[in-house]
Amino acid sequence: MNKDQVKHCDVCRKKWPSAEYRIAEFAQSIAYLHHDQFFPGWCVLILKHHATELFHLSPEVNAQLLQEVTLLAKVLQQTFNAVKINYALFGNLVPHIHWHIIPRLENDPAIRHAVFAVDHEPKILTAQEREQRIHLILQSLKLPEIHCFP
């Protein structure tokens, strides 16, 4: 890994995402509520250490990360009664492994389109609404193998 990559990485420099959106810490990743809640429950799961590609990870870390993606997706499906979960791992804007995990709801305004392709005004929650949404997710995440941060 290139030290310059880490030095210039917004995730490693703690510039993104904002700490107030933090939901829970897992063994390999940290879950955050996405700042735009136009699609309710949209979360990002961020690898704890710097890497830009899945093949940079050991098989064990890769497997654990996928388990964490799966767990968060299951919790979001249950919490928001999603009809489908979308998963996205790009990294061209933020070159640090992070998954977008997006519940798609029955009343979704664009169920057949990728969230990144839907033209919309971002829905930014108030602090109270954000805390309530995080609390809803945390209620489903109370499992012994993870450490949650309210």
Residue 1: per-residue pLDDT:
53
Residue type at 58 in one-letter notation: S
Residue 3: per-residue pLDDT:
60
Q: What is the distance between the alpha carbons of residues 32 and 10, in angstroms, rounded to a whole number?
A: 15
Which residue has better confidence, 38 or 143? 38
State both tokens at 136: 């809803």
Q: What is the pLDDT of residues 104-134, one digit of tens each?
A: 999 998 988 999 999 999 999 999 999 999 9
Q: What is the distance between the alpha carbons of residues 103 and 126, in angstroms, rounded to a whole number?
A: 20
The rounded percent of the chain whose pLDDT value lies above 70 is 91
Q: What is the pLDDT of residues 47-98, one digit of tens each?
A: 999 999 999 999 999 999 999 999 999 999 999 999 999 999 999 999 999 9
145 pLDDT above the threshold of 60: no
The residue range of the domain holding 31 is 3-148
Q: What is the mean pLDDT of residues 38-49?
A: 98
Residue 80: per-residue pLDDT:
97
Helix and strand counts by DSSP (H, E) for the chain: 3, 6
Which CATH number fits the domain that encloses residue 15? Answer: 3.30.428.10
Q: Which residues lie across from 30 on neighbouring strands?
A: 25, 46
User: What does the DSSP assignment read for 53-69?
Assistant: SGGGS-HHHHHHHHHHH
Count structural domains, the chain. 1
pTM: 0.90
Name the band, by pLDDT with cuts 50, 70 and 90, for residue 141.
confident
